[in-house]
Amino acid sequence: MPSNVIVGLQWGDEGKGKITDLLSKNSDYVIRYQGGNNSGHSIHINDRHFVLHSIPSGIIYSYVNCIIGPGVVIDPKYLIKEIKNLEFFGIKTDKIYISNIAHVIMPYHRLLDKYQEEYLGKMSIGTTHCGIGPAYADKIGRIGIRIIDLMDKNLFRIKLKKNICFKNKIITKIYKKDPISFEDIYEEYIEYAKIIHHRIIDAVYKIHDAFYKGKKILFEGAQATLLDINYGTYPYVTTSSCSTGGVCTGSGIPPVFLKNFIGIAKAYCTRVGNGPFPTEIKGDENDIIRDEGDEYGSTTNRPRRCGWLDLVSLKYSCMINGINHLIITKLDVLSKLKVIKVCTKYQYIEKIIKYFPSNIGVNDDIKGVYIEFPGWEKKISHIRDYNNLPDNCKKYIKFIEYYLNVKILLISVGPDRTQNIIINKHFFEKIFS
Ligand code: GDP
Ligand code: IMO
Ligand code: MG
């Protein structure tokens, strides 16, 4: 059975958690393939609210196998906390599996993340300080520690010692901070290994086996295309391949396993952290959108920067990911606005352009050029049938579809699992029910 991929098309927080949970109902496997606990994926079910950081958003369904895949970086301290928290709320966690070749986030990664940000000062990325960048840097530098290494005390001891010796040189000589202790970290991680060891699997074989048995597999992207290490607004990005290309490298499967590439975009834009944001709103509408959309980081609680929908970057994201189904979330958030702007071009220095410039990350002289839509100024969160949406709302949606030339599968009109308008019912029922 060909697999489905959910991927964010903007700068993260598009509602991937909500949509993954929704589509998990009819999935056998939900797999994270990149990123780490820098993610915060929210799920609302009636009055219950969960935020998942490393665990796939299929976990609410007790029958779904949730794999933290090979391409993820795992902080066992926070993963164990997350598992315990779910158990506290009565969620079954016995189907959480961890790839043996995923890399481990160590305390020195968290410290180095913070120290590098301090060093960069005004040029800082605005990271989550979770240690994601330094952990991926060690992976690429071939000095990383993998989950499988924690299972071999001697090997772990040797690798950790070498790493700590090297990191302490950086910490003390470059950053002028206190060194870290080998013994403390060694003991701490040996304890974590005991707690998680029964979940550790060869994920590559498990995923292939599931595929050939005809199981329904959903890949859940974290972060988003404009934060992708290669194709995002570099250097203001995260350090993994968040776009659909990352599914294969992050889970050990060939591209032919994949069929439906479902892109998630908000009806506007947000960004948390630093970096270019051509459609950022400087006026009152920023506060309206932030308040209505509750735009505060799920991981760091930082206020998110808000802006108008940017169709130029969205088209680029659809192209990078090969999106064949689009989901628009948070349309309800725009309900109070009299006028809604949509960016269809950029003003780039003196020129008008219709493409996403590759040096956008180092050039803040890029501004959105807009067309305006009259708002619908009515609540829409209760609507479940597309035909019942206000006309101005439909015009907005149709324009997005027309510009991107991708069909909209579903519109989300509220945080709850039930607050959806399914447009392509045929596809949805065939694949997800
Ligand atoms: P993710 O990282 O992509 O999973 O997104 P987050 O969970 O970080 O942020 C999305 C936020 O918007 C969460 O608080 C969701 O509960 C909420 N949300 C998702 N879809 C909708 C929607 O259609 N309308 C509203 N008002 N909130 C939504
Ligand atoms: P989800 O999965 C939004 C941002 C950080 C920072 C940049 C680099 O919830 O959509 P990092 O800690 O990854 O090195 O930070 O990336 N960032 C996110 N922004 N949603 C996320 O995840 C993010 N994960 C990282 O704010 O700008
Ligand atoms: Mg999030």
Considering the chain, what is the average pLDDT of its residues? Answer: 96
Q: Which CATH number fits the domain that encloses residue 319?
A: 3.90.170.10
Q: Per-residue confidence at 124, pLDDT binned at 50, 70, 90?
A: very high
Q: How many angstroms does the Cα of residue 275 sit away from the middle of ligand 2? A: 12
Please return the burial class of 113, using the count of CB atoms within 10 Å of its CB with bins 0-12, 13-18 and 19+: buried
Give the pLDDT score at 432: 74
Give the pLDDT score at 235: 97
Mean of the pLDDT values across residues 23-32?
Answer: 96
Q: How many angstroms does the Cα of residue 226 sit away from the middle of ligand 2? A: 10
User: Relative to the CA of 227, which ligand 2 atom is closest?
Assistant: 16
Would you name the residues annotated as active-site residues? 13, 41
Last residue of a domain, one of 176, 196, 216: 196
Q: How many angstroms does the Cα of residue 271 sit away from the middle of ligand 3? A: 10
User: Relative to the CA of 132, which ligand 2 atom is closest?
Assistant: 14
Q: What is the DSSP letter of 113?
A: H
Last residue of a domain, one of 244, 261, 278: 261
Q: How many angstroms does the Cα of residue 67 sit away from the middle of ligand 2? A: 21
Please return the burial class of 209, using the count of CB atoms within 10 Å of its CB with bins 0-12, 13-18 and 19+: exposed
Same domain, 222 and 275: no
Give DSSP secondary structure letters for 362-415: G---EEEEEEEEE---S--TT--SGGGS-HHHHHHHHHHHHHHT--EEEEE-SS
Last residue of a domain, one of 196, 229, 253: 196
Give the mutation target among 9, 10, 11, 13 for probing the ligand 1 site: most ligand atoms within 8 A of CB: 13
Q: What residue numbers bound the domain in which 44 lies?
A: 3-99+199-261
- The reply to whether 350 falls in a domain is yes
Q: What is the pLDDT of residues 380-403, one digit of tens each?
A: 999 999 999 999 999 999 999 999
Same domain, 222 and 293: no
Same domain, 344 and 377: yes
Give the pLDDT score at 433: 65
Residues touching ligand 1 (Cβ under 6 Å) are: 8, 12-18, 39-42, 44, 293-294, 298, 329-330, 332-333, 412-415
Same domain, 110 and 250: no
Answer yes or no: is pLDDT of 430 > 90: no
Whether the pTM exceeds 0.75: the reply is: yes
Q: Is the CB of 242 under 6 A from ligand 2?
A: no
- Return contacts of 195-201, CB within 8 angstroms, 24+ apart: 195/76, 195/80, 196/76, 196/79, 196/80, 196/98, 196/147, 197/151, 199/96, 199/97, 199/98, 200/97, 200/98, 200/99, 200/100, 200/147, 200/148, 200/151, 201/67, 201/97, 201/98, 201/99, 201/100
Answer yes or no: is pLDDT of 249 > 80: yes
Give the pLDDT score at 349: 82
Mean of the pLDDT values across residues 216-227?
Answer: 98
Same domain, 60 and 128: no
Same domain, 212 and 252: yes
Question: Which ligand has an atom closest to residue 12 CA?
Answer: 2
- The reply to whether 428 falls in a domain is no
Q: Per-residue confidence at 144, pLDDT binned at 50, 70, 90?
A: very high
- The reply to whether 291 falls in a domain is yes
Same domain, 76 and 225: yes
Q: Per-residue confidence at 362, pLDDT binned at 50, 70, 90?
A: confident
Q: What is the pLDDT of residues 159-180, one digit of tens each?
A: 999 999 999 999 999 999 999 9
Same domain, 162 and 232: no
Kindly list the protein residues that place their beta carbon closer than 5 angstroms to ligand 3, a single-atom ion. 13, 40, 298
By alpha-carbon position, which residue is closest to atom 11 of ligand 2? 127
User: Relative to the CA of 419, which ligand 1 atom is closest?
Assistant: 23
Same domain, 300 and 342: yes
User: How many folded domains does the chain comprise?
Assistant: 3
Q: What is the pLDDT of residues 258-311, one digit of tens each?
A: 999 999 999 999 999 999 999 999 988 999 999 999 999 888 888 999 999 999
